[in-house]
Structure 1
Amino acid sequence: MKHKKVAGAVALAGMVAAMGAAAQDTVVKIGHSGPLSGAQAFSGKDNENGARLAIEELNAKGVTVGGKKIKFELVSEDDQGDPKAGVSVAQKLADGGVKYVVGPYNSGVAIPAARVYSNAGMVVASVASNPKLTQQGYKNLFRVNASDTQLGSKMALYAAKELKVKNVAVIDDRTAFGQGLAEEFKKQARASGMTVAGHEYTTDKSVDFTPILTRLKSKKVEAIFFGGYAPQGGPMARQIRQLGLNAKLLGGDTICTAEMGKLGGDAVGPNVLCSQGGALLDKAASGPAFKAKFKKRFNAEPDVYAASYYDAVNLYAQAMQQANTVDPVKVGAAIAAGSYQGVAGSYAFDAKGDMKSSPVTIFTFKGGQPSAITSY
């Protein structure tokens, strides 16, 4: 009996010691703001999983900062892709003591939420591409992706040089992202000698584009650039075909997704082209390994930005180790001054928080999946 008591006491002491050690760990919460419900939930979930994979790997490996072991925790919130909800999410994360955020995904959410994050002294890494995001002058806000300036203009250059398109039209969904992207495309299209025969407007909730497309058909456009998202892009591709409109559908990163093929069916093929920030994952040094890890963990292929969110979390961890602190002011300064080689690119930032170098890849579709053509 006595031996059992002693053994029990030893086990208890071990448990207490383990709990004490765990209590010594510094918990660092990584917030995620993205559309986890609604039509864009597939993107929000994919982004969240990219961040989750990085956090799980970091915790398994063990990261020490300032002599203490760090335990990263993911705090993910659904901003519905809605500006108002996004500002509420930002406040909720700030109130919850979160100091590091990946997201928001949508420009329309990221632009107003940035003020809340800045006021709370948080560090933010967003893929939102509207140039206005980093023109607001907030410190410790980093864009981990190409901006619309690059996405829109390089798609226009490709259309002019490679597709030899002369007569184009533009449709935008009136979101901050869609408008920004469409304007950049238009600017470069004109500079490249193309005629912009029309600029039409829709919304990010629309499903019927027949009246718009009928007007563009009468203008004999060879290509239509759509500033918007896949839930509208897929049906738009179907309706272009139904109307017998012989025009290519062009777009930015948000239609460079398997969802586009799913929604557009066989109307989405070589006739659809899109531009996405970053070099090809398959050609990136650690791209194939990342894809394999992601597939094993989530039983799905990584979509457009999973690797960028994965990189953003690892960027934070590296900067914490470099600064030897989890203080967001010092970590933000380390990110601004340093560089990080990730899966999707090399992250070094200019004074505004934009990437100094962000290649853009042009994709088309094969078998319903985005298929890369070239990077430049």
Structure 2
Amino acid sequence: MHRSAPTTLALALAFAGSSLHAQTVIRIGTASPLSGPGAHQGKDIENGARMAVDDLNAKGIVIKGTKVKFALMPEDDGGDPKTGTAVAQKLVDAKVAGVVGHLNSGTTVPASKIYATAGIPQISPAATTPLYTSQGFRTAFRVVANDNLIGRALATYTIATMKATKIAVIDDRTAFGQGLADEFVKGIKAKGGATIVSRQFTNDKATDFNAILTQIRARKPDVIFYGGMEAVAGPMLKQMKALGIDARLVSGDGICSERLPLLAGDALGDDKVVCVVAGGIDGPQEATHDAFTQRYRQRYKLDVQSYAPYAYDSVMVLATAMQQAGSAEPARFLPALAKVKYQGITGSIAFDGKGDLRDAALTLFTYRQGKKTRLQVVRAN
């Protein structure tokens, strides 16, 4: 998955004052799992960013009177925090102008410290942990809703629409899974009208859930909430069915992919799963998004998993800030990035003082006949 950049790209952009000099290659890094169980989601990020880079180059972008060329530097963090920090340092050493990544909250947070120290902007198209933008780094941004909003939206939907009164909660103990489960539980308690009847834990590589599911079955919940990824949720659904557990599964964007039906098989059922993606397209934006997904499918012979549109917009936002600042030097365009207003494929993008997306949208999905089916777009600010 990893490709070395051409040697001509090894040169960094040289700037003096506010003038852009002759070297016109601007390197944008991506960091996501290109190997391991999250590789399909990580590749989705790389693919979306690559489409943006190619579109920018086709337009012939000019920054302060000089035509520039963008080049993508994709790196594989394996979804692992230690690898993520090594990848972050590699991108810093390569003097990228900005980074789109990471996918996992557990890699995004430790990597963000390295980018912050180097003064390089990082836009995550996927990481949802509130910790990422609460560290006070002026380099940290995201184009999706955080777990506070996701947990609140799922809690509201679970009680108000699904009419659940007894809820069991499982998480995989990762920064993402545990954080999302905690926010969901907070939302349930704040909303009232339902009881958490069991709180169980697993890990992100587990395959056997019989012990915890047997305990949960005795509590007869209406809903099981799972904080984690689809690699675990798929087998979990199969074991729920085998144990005769009739509860529906509710989760975040970690399971809300096109791959879940392959992992869950006939245990998926219709309307058995409700999940939310941290982002949302509705109204006039749908036509733009549909056109992007068509282009993506034609180019890669794959369906968009979840994050390609957000990675695409992340690159475009970086380029927009550079144009507005008249510079691709991070120190010069960071202030413009913090104030940027951009109409992207995923909607309007503007950041609050922490780097979180303003007016963030969320999309609720279910699965019917093995297909991910949209329920509704909500805004949970």
* Fold equivalence (TM over 0.5): yes
* CA displacement, residues 252-309 of structure 1 (integer Å, 9 cap, x when unaligned): 0111101111101121231001011222379524111111111111111111111000
In structure 2, the residue matched to 1:277 is 278
Structure 2 counterparts to residues 189-200 of structure 1, below 5 A: 189-193=188-192, 194-200=194-200
In structure 2, the residue matched to 1:372 is 374
Find the aligned partners of 2:187 and 2:151 in 1 and give their Cα distance.
8
Find the aligned partners of 2:138 and 2:331 in 1 and give their Cα distance.
9
Find the aligned partners of 1:71 and 1:63 in 2 and give their Cα distance.
7
Query: Which one of the candidate residues 262, 286, 289 is aligned to 1:287?
Result: 289
* CA displacement, residues 203-236 of structure 1 (integer Å, 9 cap, x when unaligned): 1111111111111000111111100001001111
In structure 1, the residue matched to 2:340 is 338
Find the aligned partners of 1:75 and 1:281 in 2 and give their Cα distance.
32
**Greater shift after overlay, 269-278 or 304-313?**
269-278
Find the aligned partners of 1:280 and 1:318 in 2 and give their Cα distance.
21
In structure 1, the residue matched to 2:58 is 60
Q: Aligned pair 1:78/2:76, yes or no?
A: yes
Q: Aligned pair 1:165/2:164, yes or no?
A: yes
* Contact 1:281 1:343 (8 Å CA) reproduced: no
**Greater shift after overlay, 282-291 or 38-47?**
282-291
* Contact 1:285 1:343 (8 Å CA) reproduced: no
* Structure 2 residue runs without a partner (length 5+): 1-20
What TM-score do the two structures reach when normalised by structure 1? 0.92
Aligned residues: 354
Specify the structure having the higher radius of gyration (Cα).
1
Find the aligned partners of 1:70 and 1:135 in 2 and give their Cα distance.
34
Amino acid at match of 2:362: V
In structure 1, the residue matched to 2:41 is 43
Find the aligned partners of 2:66 and 2:310 in 1 and give their Cα distance.
27
In structure 2, the residue matched to 1:145 is 144
Amino acid at match of 2:274: L
Query: Which one of the candidate residues 74, 92, 98 is aligned to 1:94?
Result: 92
Amino acid at match of 1:78: D
DSSP-derived class of the 2:286 partner: coil
Find the aligned partners of 2:371 and 2:117 in 1 and give their Cα distance.
41
Amino acid at match of 2:191: S
* Contact 2:197 2:221 (8 Å CA) reproduced: yes
* Contact 1:170 1:199 (8 Å CA) reproduced: yes
Q: CA RMSD in A?
A: 1.3
DSSP-derived class of the 2:302 partner: coil
Amino acid at match of 1:196: I
Shift of 1:338: 2.2
Find the aligned partners of 2:41 and 2:62 in 1 and give their Cα distance.
32
* Contact 1:281 1:344 (8 Å CA) reproduced: no
* Contact 2:32 2:79 (8 Å CA) reproduced: yes
Write 1 or 2 for the structure with the bigger share of helix. Answer: 1
* Contact 1:27 1:71 (8 Å CA) reproduced: yes
DSSP-derived class of the 1:122 partner: coil
DSSP-derived class of the 1:253 partner: coil
In structure 2, the residue matched to 1:315 is 317
* CA displacement, residues 76-108 of structure 1 (integer Å, 9 cap, x when unaligned): 111010000000000111111112000011000
In structure 1, the residue matched to 2:306 is 304
Amino acid at match of 1:225: F
DSSP-derived class of the 2:249 partner: strand
What TM-score do the two structures reach when normalised by structure 2? 0.91
In structure 2, the residue matched to 1:232 is 232
* Contact 1:99 1:121 (8 Å CA) reproduced: no
Find the aligned partners of 2:45 and 2:368 in 1 and give their Cα distance.
23
DSSP-derived class of the 2:141 partner: strand
Structure 2 counterparts to residues 125-140 of structure 1, below 5 A: 125-126=123-124, 127-140=126-139
Find the aligned partners of 2:159 and 2:281 in 1 and give their Cα distance.
22
Query: Which one of the candidate residues 102, 109, 112 is aligned to 1:111?
Result: 109
* CA displacement, residues 324-351 of structure 1 (integer Å, 9 cap, x when unaligned): 1111122221121121111112111111
Find the aligned partners of 1:281 and 1:54 in 2 and give their Cα distance.
22
Shift of 1:163: 0.6
Shift of 1:24: 4.0
Amino acid at match of 2:206: S
DSSP-derived class of the 2:226 partner: strand
Find the aligned partners of 1:341 and 1:140 in 2 and give their Cα distance.
21
Find the aligned partners of 2:355 and 2:265 in 1 and give their Cα distance.
38
Quick one: structure 1 residues 40 and 261, their matched pair in 2 at CA, closer, same or farther if it must change by over 3 Å? same
* Contact 2:257 2:306 (8 Å CA) reproduced: yes
* Contact 1:237 1:264 (8 Å CA) reproduced: yes
DSSP-derived class of the 1:255 partner: coil
Amino acid at match of 1:234: G
* Structure 1 residue runs without a partner (length 5+): 1-22
Amino acid at match of 1:89: V
Amino acid at match of 2:286: A
In structure 2, the residue matched to 1:20 is none
Amino acid at match of 2:58: A
Identity rate of aligned residues, in percent? 44
Find the aligned partners of 1:278 and 1:78 in 2 and give their Cα distance.
24
